[in-house]
Amino acid sequence: MTAVAERGRTVLFVSHNLGVLANLCSRAILLSHGQKLADGPAPAVIQRYLQEGLDQSGERVWETPATAPGSDIARLHSVRIISNGQTTAEVAIDQPVQIEIAFWNLRPGSQLSTSIHLLDKLGVEVLASANFPSASLAPDPWFGKPYPAGLFKAVCTLPANFLNDGLYSLNVLVLNRVRVQEVFARDAIRFSVHETGAMRAEFGGRWIGVVRPRLAWHTSHAGEQPRP
């Protein structure tokens, strides 16, 4: 695509991958529901997009199945970010984060499971998780069972001191019998992880990466100094 643009042609590139967009495009246009919100240099438009999508309440709710993402089997009701017992879009780096997903099962007998994709501010995948027995720290009591019709709530917990500071977004999925996708809500909610001073007693610079875990270290004396 870059080679084509260098020959003097205009290339229209449509993507949710902000990292690719930032590297390939000098100009960007931000659209929402058919309306142009921003038009200009790619870095400035990307920043506007990031701020536009940050839900300061920490939750996104669809009041009725008719307005919610999904199928005739399952539809999304709400996505919430919970930290320190509060629903919030601003998460302290040294506190656990609970991702609460509520969804309607509309067809009795469905065997539903829940999954998330966590992405960084440029749309690069950080991790994926699901309530499958092989992927969960503890068994989910509803996995593999037929669901009655009704509203269900699944909660995934990210540990404290796991994510680095910055902006993150979530894709939310509800699957039927593991393989059939009934709900896919792209960019369902965004939240920001902010500094609290944790891991800053000795080093004040920038920690690289999208994760910033506290890992176990141990140093021992392995021998005498080498002779000159």
Q: How far apart are CA 190 and CA 49, in angstroms?
A: 12
Label residue 226 by pLDDT band (50, 70, 90).
confident
Same domain, 117 and 30: no
- If asked whether residues 160 and 75 sit together in one domain, one would say yes
| Predicted pLDDT at 4 | 57
Which band of pLDDT confidence, cut at 50, 70 and 90, is reported for residue 7? low
Give the pLDDT band of residue 194 (cuts 50, 70, 90).
confident
CB of 60 within 8 A of CB of 78?
A: yes
Residue 57's SS3 state is coil
Tell whether 90 and 115 lie within a shared domain: yes
Residue 99's domain comprises 59-194
64 in the same domain as 10: no
- Rounded CA-CA distance 180/122 in Å is 28
pLDDT digits 0-9 by tens, 207-216:
899 999 999 9
- Identify the CA nearest to 21 among candidates 7, 1, 51: 1
Pair (72, 44) in one structural domain: no
Q: Are 83 and 92 in contact (CB under 8 A)?
A: yes
**Are 16 and 108 in the same domain?**
no
> 85 has which bridge partners?
none
Residue 132 belongs to some domain of the structure: yes
- C-alpha span between 30 and 40 (Å, rounded): 9
The candidate with the shortest Cα–Cα distance to 121, out of 172, 29, 192, is 192
Q: Is residue 212 part of a domain?
A: no
Same-domain pairing of 124 and 89: yes
Contact 120, 208 (CB under 8 A): no
The backbone torsions φ and ψ at residue 140, rounded to the nearest 5 degrees and listed phi first, read -90, 120
Residues 6+ apart with CB under 8 A from 156: 98, 99, 101, 114, 116, 129, 131
What is the reported pLDDT for 2?
59
Residues 6+ apart with CB under 8 A from 159: 96
Query: Mean pLDDT, to the nearest integer, of 89-101?
Result: 93
Residues 78 and 137 in one domain: yes
Q: Which residues are within 8 A (CB) of 23 and not within 5 positions of it... i.e. 6 or more apart?
A: none
pTM of the model: 0.78
In a domain, 215, yes or no: no
We report the CATH number of the domain holding residue 64 as: 2.70.50.60
Nearest to 118 by CA among 62, 158, 71, 75: 158
Q: How many domains does the chain have?
A: 2
Compute the distance between CA of residue 103 and CA of residue 79 in angstroms, rounded to an integer: 9
- Residues with Cβ within 8 Å of 40's Cβ and at least 6 positions away in sequence, in order, are 27, 28
Q: What percent of the chain has pLDDT over 90?
A: 62
Radius of gyration of the chain from its Cα atoms, rounded to whole angstroms = 22
